[in-house]
Each structure stands twice: as C-alpha cells, then as structure tokens.
Structure 1
C-alpha cells in the first residue's frame, strides 16, 4: 500500500490507449491511492465511464456542469484535494490546452485550478509526437514544472512503428511511487501537533470555549505527514474532520490536553502547539444544570496551567513552535511569548485581518525567532502556509552534515 492516503486525479483523454488507463486506475487503487477519474468527451468513445467507476469506486466526472454534490464545485474540489494529477493517456490536443491555459472541459478546467504536482503521459502517432508544435507545448509545460512520462517505442495502433505508445501502467505507477518518496525533509521525525479549541465545563450541559476550527493544526499535521514525519495530533473541539494516517488523541479540556501532550513529549522531536487553549476554567463545576434564578450569575474562574510554558520548561531536545493569535501589537506579543515560554519559533497572526481569523481556509502568518521576524507570508491557503512553516522547521532541525 505504497500510495495509502494519497488522492490521485486520473485524467483520461480520447485515444486508443485509454484502455491502458483502466489498468493504471486499478493498480493505483491496489497501491492504496484514492483515485478520482476525469474523462474527456472523446475518451468515453473508447472506454465507458462505468469501467473506471467500478475500478476506482468513485464517481467518474465528464461534464463540467454535471454537479453531483451541491455542497462543492466539483472541479475546484478535485483540484484542492489532489496530491497528484496524472493525465494518461494525454493527447496532443490536451497538451496544447494545458500549454495555453484553455479550459473548455472538465479536465482542462480542473488542471487550471490545481496546485498539486502534474504528470503527463503522452500517447499519439509518432509524427504527431515529433511535431514542432507538440514539442514546443511540452517544453512550455516542462518549464512550469509539469513532469512528462516518456512514451514507449513500438507498433502503434495507426500502423506506424516508433515512439508514441503510452508507457505501461506498471512503469507509471513506479514513477508515481518514486515521486511520493522524494522530498521527505521530515522523514524519521516525530512531530506532535495540537489543534482545535478546548472546552471548560460549567455544568453538565454548558461550557466555555472559543472559535478555533482546528483547520490550521490539521493542515500542519497533514503536511507534516506528507513530508515524511510520524505525526501525533492532540485535538479538541473542531469544525472539520481530522487528517488520516496520523495518531489521533481527542481531548476536551485544557487539563486533558496538558496530560496528553506531556505523556507524549519525551518521544517527540518537534512540538507545534497550534491549539487555542482556554486560559481559565471554572473553579467549581456544578454537578447539575445551573438554573436561571437571579438577575446576575457569578462564576469564579481559576487559571489553567500554561501548556506551552510547561513544554518550554520540560523540553530537552525538542524543537518547540508556539502560535499567537493576536488583535494588536502582533510583533511585540509574539516575541514576548517566544521568550517567556522558551519557544524556538512563534507563528503569529492578526485575527482581525480578513482571511486570517478563526474558521477560515486561509491565513496570513508571520514567523518569529529570538532575533525577530523570520518571514512574513501573504494571504494563502492554510495547507500552503503549513508547508512553508514545516520547511523552515526542517531546515532548522536538520542534523549538521545531513543532506536535508
């Protein structure tokens, strides 16, 4: 299951080699990948969508306007969730569309929205493959980072003998597996991430919490896993599902989180505390529902143990990253937090900025160390921000003389 946890979008274009794409789909699924197939209108002339639906166990998309799930825009949803997009077979027509940014069908539209790596496995007549226009278009795409899987040589369906046969499915899968084995700067590292908000009980039906969604912490955990780390996530109240392929520890209160984190701390290399933890808790939790009686209700709160500060005091070799959600004096508060809690980095954001508050899919972060600002990132998707942060952590925690 070498591709377990990976989401791969398989684009199938109209050519006789489309039958090989069925074998490719099957092998990707067998390797553990979640495969979503997009077919062009020409492709369904050669092979039925039902074949790919049966092999992938997912709906096959052909028509841009045939939206099956009203809660999402399908081409954006597929693009956002793909770890890789592979076009096999890729026709000269689709390569030209990609080179010039055309978007007149589901596949080309999804490609324009994608930020995931893209691989292209061409299949066409030998003279088409060597045509200057096709060669130029492939050159344009290579310059943009698109990776081509060279076609094989042999007897082509048109009767010619030469280069133009779609690479064998086994070869394509091997290249994809090698791709995911590359660029693992956190391989072998054990990372603990905290995420979400905590709940402090007032009585059996009421509690105090905050607006944290858990999205940033989960994005960090997912990106760390993709970068090769062994990830543990301690999480509280969230509005999204936790990532797969990581150790999950669900908690409720700040004290629960403290105990879970400290039990794991000695085993960890890196700790990233992205959770929004309550600073105070009720001194006494009512065993019964508090009834509405007087005009005023007075509850005494006591301070929770500061988890980040405790980690800072107890750490031995761990690289510790804190988060600071601020509404004013961002830099001053971030650096003060970093020093007082013995962090190696602090990630700060001004939650009053549009796109940087709780519950959003984006963030605007600034990363600080003891010398001050390290990097200021513009508005971006939380997964992208997480990758920037983790790349910096990987660089700062690489052993001297290592090749990381």
Structure 2
C-alpha cells in the first residue's frame, strides 16, 4: 500500500522524537520514500545524521539554506509529497499550524502545502488538556488536518494521562488510511463502542458485559475503506483498532460529550452498550457497611446518545446507525426503537445468554431501515463489520 508513496516527515521537538527513527525504518520497509524535515527543537532529541542514515536522504532543517533553496525550494518541497506527517506534533507546532505562523522551515512548509497532513501529537498531559491546545486542535480538524493519538500512559516527565505519541504501528496504520483510495476516502465517521462504567463510589461501578469487539471491528472496517474514524470507546476489554482517532471515556455523559466534540461527521454509528441509568447518589468516598443495612442507591436517567444525535436538525449527520441488543421479540423491539430514536438504521441482535453473542466472537444481526428488516446470517463480528461498512459506502457513493 505504501510502495513508492512519498512521505514528508516533520520531526518536532519532544522526547517522542525517538519513535520517528523506527517510523522511518518501517515506512521504508514498506517501500515508502521518506523526506525528513528536522526542527531545531527536534534536533535536540535526534541527530540529523541518524535521521538521514535511516531515511537514505538528506535532512532538511533550515528555511534560509541557500543550497536547498537553489536545488528544491521550500514551496516545491511542501508539494512534492503524497502526505505530510508531523511526528511528534508538539503543542508549539500545532499552535503555529492553527494560526498560520511560518517562522521556520517546518511551519512554512505546513502553511505552503496543499497536501494532506497527518499529526501525531505528543506533549505533557497538562499541555494536551489546556484549553488553548484543545482550541487549536478543533481549528485544525475543521481545516481537514488528520490526527492519530495521543495515547494515555506514563510520561517522561513523570506524569500520567493522555499525551503520549501514538505507537509506530498506529501511526503507520493512520498513514495507510490517509493514503487509501477506498470508497470512504475523506468521509468522517464517529463510532461509539464498549460499555460505560457508572460510578457508585471510587471503587465500585455499574457496568454491562459488552467487550467492545463489534464496535472495534466496525471502526477497523470503515478505516480500511479510507474513512476518517473517530472511535469513542468506553472501558472495553478489546483494544481499539489502529489507524483511527481514539477517545476514551468512562460514563455515558462523557461519551455524549465526546461524540458532540467529534461532530460534524457524515456518519455516526452508536455501537456502544451505554448504561441507561447512572447513580445519582454516587459519592467520592467509599461506602462502608453499617449496622443499618444496605445503602439505598438512587438512580437518574443517562442521556440518550442515539436519540440526541438523531435529532440535531440541520447539524444532523447524514446517516445515523444504532444497535438494539434485545433478549426477546428482537425485531419488534428494534423496529420500535428505530422509530422512537429517530435514527436511520438499527442493527438488532439477540444477546440472551444462550446465544453467546455478548462478549463473544460472532454476531447475528437484522438490519432495520425504512424499507423493512433484512436478516443477516450468523457470522464473525469482523464479517458483520465489513458488510455494514460496504453498505455504508454504497449509500454514500
């Protein structure tokens, strides 16, 4: 897929720059041509010699290098690639991109290009969560910039949370997706997946048995057709797919907020098993046993994500797809749910214990649309996902 593809790799200044050495190696193994641009800050973490040796090409560093400008000006350099990858994408680089600043070679290339751009952010968790960074990201997404990551975890600074650069296989998968010429190329799709955890106290929560396998398979199938996928996942047991933007949440209210933040999109697929209620009486201290008996839990209704997205009026996605996990009268309940929620399609499945579907590897669904019900044979969840993705591609064609 990457054979003879030309990648312009801009290496920002962060400790995650060390990952770009492996990224270059793996891209070249797949036949890609990598032209590296090393920022002044990036050169504090990886050397031009190391980058050049792995890329097999000269490293570009200076905006005002007379030799480089004579041989290949920065305008030509910015437009001779099939894709520009910014890794690591620091807060500083993304801020420059958002406001159109061009005071060094990297930012000038990014402003002068008409080539697609993919950013792999990496920074301290507080910097990532800062309102200014989130504003910049929203602006860049609105401008059509693609993102992969960041991931959560331990940081070099000793803190923990979102901000780690996506791992190299994830970045490569995102590059392959960005360069894909599939039928969903350029289409933005939001997929929700997994369960939600509704806290009772700091150590207890209410959940369900969803593994997230079906939502993960759907996101992967859509990405393989070239879609730009935002994957909003609860605490699932199945890891998220590579090549998609992953947003991790815990509760139903967090999931709705994440979906809102990911819009606008052409398609929203609500595959998550969202809890209908949360504990209104949840406490920030662990509940203790008392001689008075069991504590009383008061519940409140969670927001209905599928119905909320379906009722957005002028801002509504063109196609909204929901799931109906039922244990009896599956088609009847799902048909009524489609009408009640106002979505376009419902995929109904029987999740009673005897079917082994909830948490299993197979699924048996009935697709319900305005034209009626279409029952699909039982098959692997990956096969269900591919069939659904192909159907979406045909509808959007």
Q: Scaled by the length of structure 1, what TM-score is found?
A: 0.53
What is residue 285 of structure 2 aligned with on the other side?
288
Go from structure 1 to structure 2 and tell me whether the alpha carbon gap of 1:202 and 1:190 turns closer, same or farther (over 3 Å shift): same
1:271 aligned onto 2:253:
no
Q: Give the Cα separation in 1 of the matches to 2:317 and 2:280.
A: 35
Q: CA RMSD in A?
A: 2.6
Tell me, yes or no, if the aligned pair for 2:344 and 2:370 is still in contact at 8 Å.
yes
**In the alignment, which residue of structure 2 is the partner of 1:316?**
316
Residue 272 of structure 1 aligns to a residue whose secondary structure is: strand
Unpaired runs of 5+ in structure 1?
5-25, 34-177, 399-404
Report the 3-state secondary structure (helix = DSSP H, G, I; strand = E; otherwise coil) of the residue aligned with 1:275: coil
Taking the aligned partners of 2:180 and 2:190, their CA distance within structure 1 comes to: 23
Q: Which residue is equivalent to 1:386? A: 385
Q: Which runs of 5+ in 2 are unaligned?
A: 4-24, 33-175
Aligned to 1:202: 200
Equivalent residue for 2:145?
none
Following superposition, the deviation at residue 391 of structure 1 comes to 1.2
Asked if structure 2 preserves the Cα contact closer than 8 Å seen for 1:335 and 1:370, the reply is no
Match of 1:191 in 2: 189
Whole-angstrom CA distance in 2 between matches of 1:183 and 1:385? 22
Give the SS at the match of 1:238.
coil
In the alignment, structure 1 residue 348 sits paired with structure 2 residue 345: no
1:368 to partner: Cα distance: 0.5
- Rate the CA distance shift 1:218–1:298 in 2: closer, same or farther, 3 A: same
Structure 2 counterpart of 1:68: none
Q: Which residue is equivalent to 2:221?
A: 223
Which stretches of structure 1, 4 residues or more, deviate above 4 A after TM superposition? 26-29, 180-183, 353-356
Q: 1:113-192, aligned counterparts within 5 Å?
A: 184-192=182-190
Kindly provide the CA deviation profile for residues 256-296 of structure 1, in whole angstroms up to 9, marking residues without a partner as x.
0010101112x211000000101101112212100012333
Q: Alpha carbons of 1:389 and 1:206: their partners in 2 closer, same or farther (altered >3 Å)? A: same
Cα distance between partner residues in 1 of 2:354 and 2:181: 33
C-alpha contact (below 8 Å) 1:196/1:276 kept by paired residues: yes
SS in structure 2 at match of 1:262: helix
Greater C-alpha Rg = 1
Q: TM-score, normalised by structure 2?
A: 0.54
> C-alpha distance in 2, partners of 1:240/1:391?
23
Counterpart contact for 2:361–2:380, Cα < 8 Å: yes
Q: 1:230 to 1:303 in 2, by over 3 A?
A: same
